[in-house]
Structure formats: structure tokens, C-alpha cells
Structure 1
């Protein structure tokens, strides 16, 4: 993708750089991890799990994010709202984004943060589609 459609790839990178501005980095990694799990993107899942751990999140939180509803005690109210919104946006064809899910997120974040969160979720879904479609293999990413 990067060598065959470089303008598109560079545009994705530029969008990615601004998608999480102002959001807590641990929250942003959890969102990226959860969307990557839902989309089956092994490369992105590997990358963002390593990034989260490298930046100081705990293995316990990262390991149970797929079952965050059962492991709520490990996450803040903002993180829970972000994970719920991540699932709704990622699985938008299932039930669109339910009003109550949006309202929970809107109450947990100020307007700018909510806009950034939505941007981040859309961005990781785009990257997941690149990773899955191009069959990018995990195992060679280094967070340092």
C-alpha cells in the first residue's frame, strides 16, 4: 500500500497523527486494541498492544479488554464509554450507533474530546481495513 498508493498512505498517516489529540494515551490504545480485535487485524492488534504496554499500561488491562464488560473494574468511566462507542462505531452495520451509547460517551467527554474520540475510532477502523486487506503480518513491530 505505502509504495503503490503513497499519497493515500501519507494522507492516512497525517490523519492518524491528529486523530487522538487531547485524549489520554492509555484510552487511545484501548480503543485501537478493541477495534482491532473486532476487525480481526492481527498486525494492528500486535502493534497497539505492544504500544500500550511500552507506554506503561498493565498487561492485565490490555489482556482483558476483549471482555471489558466483565472486567469493568479495571477501566475508568471514560474508558468504558470509549470502549462502548468503539464497538458501536466499529460494528455500525449491526445497530448503527445507539442513542444511549452516544449519550454515555457525550456525558463522559467534553465536545472536543468526543470529536477526537470519534476521529480516533474512525481512523483505527481505516487502518484495520488496510491491515486486513493487505494481509500485513504481525510480529515485526517494535514500539521503541
Structure 2
């Protein structure tokens, strides 16, 4: 919890960037991005927060339980969700192999340009939040948003 306390201007800028990155994105899709990136990064703080948010949005708990195995979960995720989850995996693991052309092209083929940009920005933002929460040892179950 040190960034909001020690660097409030940076924190406010990150919150503004978060809002801008997801302004027109379907909230359910945004939560799937946040959960998947948080799984890959091992961020329990963000997983707890965004799983709770997804349930409040009405996402099927079975679907939430299958995000970790989205590639094998045929018939559970829509084509848009699958393209976005694939892009989330590639961008979150960008140091492994970059973002393969086929992954980006699959997302670009199914999303309009604005949505694609928001998806990429949303993936970048949750990866930033994951790093802040993990580095700051944020406790699972706390929702920092309630402290603003």
C-alpha cells in the first residue's frame, strides 16, 4: 500500500489511466483480462478483487473457474473472449516470445480498432497493478478502491 501513500500523484495518474483504458470496454471482458493476467502473475490481491467484481457482474462462477484452462475449455468462452485471453497471455508473458503475429492477428480480426487498443491498454494496466500489489505485499481480501 505504499504507492498511494508515498507517491499520491503517481497513484492518481495510474487510476486515471486505468479508467481511460477501460472506459468503453465491456466490463465482463475487462474482468476476464484482469483475472487471467493476475493468474499468470500470481497476484492473489488482484485475483480476489476481480473475481469478486466478476461475480457481482453476473459472470458464471464455472466460467471463472475455467479461465486458467481457457484454451482447453471449448464451448465455454466466446470467440471474442478467446481472442482476448490469448492476447492477454501473450502480452503478460511478453518476455517469452513477444506477441506472436497469429495471436495479435486473431484479436485484430475479431475486434474493432478502438476495442483492440483498449484491450491492449487494459492488459498493460493490470500487469502494472499486479506488479505494484505484489511488490507492495498487498494483502488478499483488501480492496484498495474502498480507501480512496
TM-score normalised by length of structure 1: 0.96
Q: Provide structure 1 residue ranges, at least 5 long, that are not aligned to the other structure.
A: none
Per the TM alignment, residue 84 of structure 1 is displaced from its structure 2 partner at its CA by 0.2
Which has the larger displacement, 25-34 or 133-142?
A: 133-142
Q: 1:19 to 1:9 in 2, by over 3 A?
A: same
Structure 2 CA distance for aligned equivalents of residues 101 and 35 of structure 1? 16
Structure 2 CA distance for aligned equivalents of residues 27 and 96 of structure 1? 22
Per the TM alignment, residue 139 of structure 1 is displaced from its structure 2 partner at its CA by 1.6
Partner residue of 2:113 out of 111, 114, 124: 111
Q: Deviations over 1:74-125 (max 9, x none)?
A: 1110000000000000000001000000000000100011001001000000
Structure 1 CA distance for aligned equivalents of residues 34 and 51 of structure 2? 9
TM-score normalised by length of structure 2: 0.93
Structure 1 moving runs of 4+ over 2 Å: 140-144
For 1:123, the equivalent position in structure 2 comes to: 125
For 1:54, the equivalent position in structure 2 comes to: 56
Q: Deviations over 1:28-84 (max 9, x none)?
A: 100000000001111000000000001110100111100001113111100000000
Partner residue of 2:10 out of 8, 11, 17: 8
User: 1:72·1:80 contact (CA, 8 Å) conserved in 2?
Assistant: no
Per the TM alignment, residue 143 of structure 1 is displaced from its structure 2 partner at its CA by 9.2
Please tell me the root mean square deviation across aligned C-alpha atoms, in Å: 1.5
Query: Relative to total residues, which structure has the larger helix share, 1 or 2?
Result: 2
Per the TM alignment, residue 24 of structure 1 is displaced from its structure 2 partner at its CA by 1.3
Structure 2 CA distance for aligned equivalents of residues 128 and 142 of structure 1? 13
Aligned length, in residue pairs: 144
User: 1:54·1:143 contact (CA, 8 Å) conserved in 2?
Assistant: no
